[in-house]
Amino acid sequence: MIKRSLFLLYNCTLERLFPEVRFPLKHSSPFNLFVAVFLSANTTDRQVNKVMEGLDKKLKTPEDYVKVPLGDLERMIKSVGLYRQKAKRLKECAKIILERHNGKVPDKMEELLKLPGVGRKIANVVLQWLYGKQEGMIVDTHVARLSKLLGLSDSTTPEKVEKDLMQIVPKKHWRDFSMRLIYYGQNYCPARLHNHYNCPLTVELRKFFKRLNLAVVGFSFDKQKYGHKIFKDLLKEGFKVYPVNPKGGKFESVKVYKSLRELKNQVGKIELPIFVVKPEVSLKILEEVKRFGIASVWFQPGSADKKVIERAKELDLEYFNFCFMVMNGLW
């Protein structure tokens, strides 16, 4: 699987960049670990740690949070985002944990998700760092953004990104891979606009791509069209690219199949095809790719829509969105 290969590439680089994985939020008790994670939404770790220094001196247990007046708690956490809402929900969580769980933070995903304001991100952090349990992967804004940027997920919601990652990343790496992606986003590849070309992971990514035999299947190599630019850029970067049917014309499945067969005889093996075609043509080519015995497909910008991706799933073809390389300047 291409995405599993990418994970191995990224993980090796991230382990080199960040040898140690540590819990980044200060806390003096198990419940305050939960509190710190709860406060971290829409707030930097640095700011949470400043707040936790004060909380740790006065509040440590669910009983403490139940007893403290709401106004006082609001003042203590005022510097974090959405502090009023968080103060109210923290008191509600403390009460539930005290009454239903004997003052112990729940150690099961389903019980954590029943707490007010707790989603899968908070639940996963608590389970992983408080109990050493791997029931899912942490997906914060860094992980969601980088997963799409680096071609690991095309999903737009944290829940779907988590599901995509769990299918690629071995369970033993769930916690540390997510944490290292967060470190990477904070230290090398921030959300603000910047040139990704020199980011460490994209440097390794380009090296990886150049080791592949890429079969470009397409009909838009006209000099006035975008596909022609992609083709030229790939060649300029030193990629091994073998065009199939580059002259254009009406789609004919027999011609595509014949070209693929000739290509296989020429290069010995086709690892990945890139579609530089319209979505309606991609749907037809998918059938030929499956018939030809290729397990993975790459979609170039403009060539894939929801129907194409769904059809790729139906045919049990691994799909890989090539858009991220072009749109984010990774070469």
Q: What is the CATH number of the domain that holds 273?
A: 3.40.50.720
- In which band, very low, low, confident or very high, does the pLDDT at 47 lie, cut at 50, 70 and 90? very high
Q: Does residue 163 fall inside a structural domain?
A: yes
Size (the chain), residues: 331
**Do 285 and 236 reside in the same domain of the chain?**
yes
pLDDT value of residue 181: 97
Q: What tens digit of pLDDT does each residue of 68-121 get?
A: 999 999 999 999 989 999 999 999 999 999 999 999 999 999 999 999 999 999
Whose CA is closest to 317, among 283, 271, 286, 274? 286
Which residues form the catalytic set?
A: 121, 140
pLDDT at 170 over 90: yes
Q: Say how many domains are in the chain.
A: 3
**Do 119 and 48 reside in the same domain of the chain?**
yes
- In which band, very low, low, confident or very high, does the pLDDT at 19 lie, cut at 50, 70 and 90? very high
**Do 172 and 236 reside in the same domain of the chain?**
no
Q: What tens digit of pLDDT does each residue of 176-199 get?
A: 999 999 999 999 999 888 888 889
Range of the domain at 256: 212-327
**Do 43 and 64 reside in the same domain of the chain?**
yes
Q: Which residues neighbour 65 within 8 Å (Cβ) at sequence distance 6 or greater?
A: 31, 35, 59, 73, 90, 91, 93, 94
Q: Which amino acid is at 78?
A: K
Q: What tens digit of pLDDT does each residue of 214-243 get?
A: 777 665 555 555 556 667 777 777 777 777
Q: Which of 130, 149, 171 is the last residue of a domain?
A: 130
Whose CA is closest to 144, among 194, 181, 172? 181
**Do 236 and 98 reside in the same domain of the chain?**
no
Q: Does residue 203 fall inside a structural domain?
A: no
Q: Does residue 146 fall inside a structural domain?
A: yes
**Other Cβ atoms within 10 Å of 86 Cβ, number:** 21
pLDDT value of residue 218: 62
List the structure tokens of 110.
């389903």
Whose CA is closest to 175, among 130, 212, 232, 129? 129
Name the pTM for this structure: 0.82
